[in-house]
């Protein structure tokens, strides 16, 4: 079990809230990611906490960490993909179900069935689906349309604190737009092995050269999304 010392009681409580209560849990998550998750939880952190986490992960004392080890930790922290807490499963499934309904509307209109919703503080701000054919635009992807509608509703192009639920892993165009809009978390259903830019082909969200700050979670209701897509393309091949 992680104990006090070396961790302060407040840090220990925060770790337990994250489900990290033992050295095994810490090793599974990693010191750097754990540090970022604590920060995402709203805690003010210092480098000393990172040293404590790294030492506990390695099974040594903080005093045994070398200067080289500390420098490597800071470099890993700088290069680590954005980290955040995932949404509660019941909430994620609820909002992804709304995005899937948008995808079904797209399929009914003859569009590639992808849907997206933008959520803030537990409320859907905007919902959209692919409309490339209807709008005669390659840019009319569900994500772009949902971002636009949410921005209009909030009166800002910056959507700080908002989450995007998308039925298919976003392409590079949409991934870039999601980052530019300052979306906090992207939650997608099915992976897109041919053009996905959230880990399948590339991961723009993890590229710090692009001022990355959006955490990504995949696999929520993935089977349902794949079924909608497969049915759509199967029907197209037979008509």
Sequence spans of domains, the chain: 9-79, 89-238
Q: How many other CB atoms are there within 10 angstroms of residue 102's CB atom?
A: 24
Go through 225-236 and write b for each residue having 16 or more CB atoms within 10 A of its CB, e for each that does not. Answer: beebbeebeeee
For the cut 80, the answer to whether the pLDDT of residue 239 exceeds it is no
For the cut 80, the answer to whether the pLDDT of residue 84 exceeds it is yes
25 SS3 class: helix
pLDDT score recorded for residue 43: 87
From the options 2.40.110.10, 3.40.50.300, 3.40.50.800, 3.40.140.10, give the CATH code of 89-238.
3.40.140.10
Binding residues for Zn(2+): 141, 171, 174
Report the alpha-carbon angle 77-118-85, nearest 5.
30
Burial grade of 172 (CB within 10 A; 0-12, 13-18, 19 or more): middle
- Over range 106-127, report the average pLDDT: 98
Q: Which of 102, 111, 143, 192 is catalytic?
A: 143
The predicted model scores a pTM of: 0.90
Binding residues: 141, 171, 174
Architecture of domain 9-79: Orthogonal Bundle (1.10)
Least confident range of 39-43, 131-135, 142-146, 194-198: 39-43
DSSP state of 93: H
Q: Where are the beta strands (DSSP E) in 26-150?
A: 115-120, 123-129
Measure the CA–CA gap between 7 and 9, rounded to whole angstroms.
6
Q: Does 143 participate in catalysis according to the annotation?
A: yes
pLDDT digits over 197-228, tens only?
A: 999 999 999 998 898 889 999 999 999 999 99
């Amino acid at each position: 079990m992680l104990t006090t010392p070396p961790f302060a009681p407040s840090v220990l409580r925060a770790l337990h809230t994250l489900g990290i209560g033992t050295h095994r849990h810490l090793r599974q998550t990693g010191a750097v990611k754990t540090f970022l998750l604590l920060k995402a939880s709203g805690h003010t952190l210092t480098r000393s906490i990172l040293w404590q986490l790294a030492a506990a992960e390695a099974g040594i004392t903080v005093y045994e960490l070398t200067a080289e080890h500390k420098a490597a930790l800071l470099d890993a922290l700088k290069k680590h993909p954005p980290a955040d807490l995932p949404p509660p499963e019941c909430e994620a499934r609820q909002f992804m179900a709304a995005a899937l309904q948008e995808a079904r509307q797209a399929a009914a209109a003859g569009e590639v069935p992808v849907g997206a919703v933008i959520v803030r503080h537990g409320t859907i701000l905007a919902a959209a689906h692919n409309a490339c054919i209807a709008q005669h635009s390659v840019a009319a992807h569900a994500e772009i349309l949902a971002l636009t509608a949410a921005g209009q509703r909030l009166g800002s192009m910056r959507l700080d604190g908002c989450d995007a639920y998308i039925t298919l892993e976003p392409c590079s165009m949409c991934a870039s737009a999601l980052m530019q809009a300052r979306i906090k978390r992207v939650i997608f259903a099915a992976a897109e092995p041919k053009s996905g830019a959230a880990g399948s082909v590339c991961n723009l969200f993890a590229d710090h050269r692009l001022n990355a700050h959006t955490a990504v979670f995949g696999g929520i209701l993935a089977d349902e999304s794949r079924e909608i897509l497969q049915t759509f393309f199967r029907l197209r091949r037979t008509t």
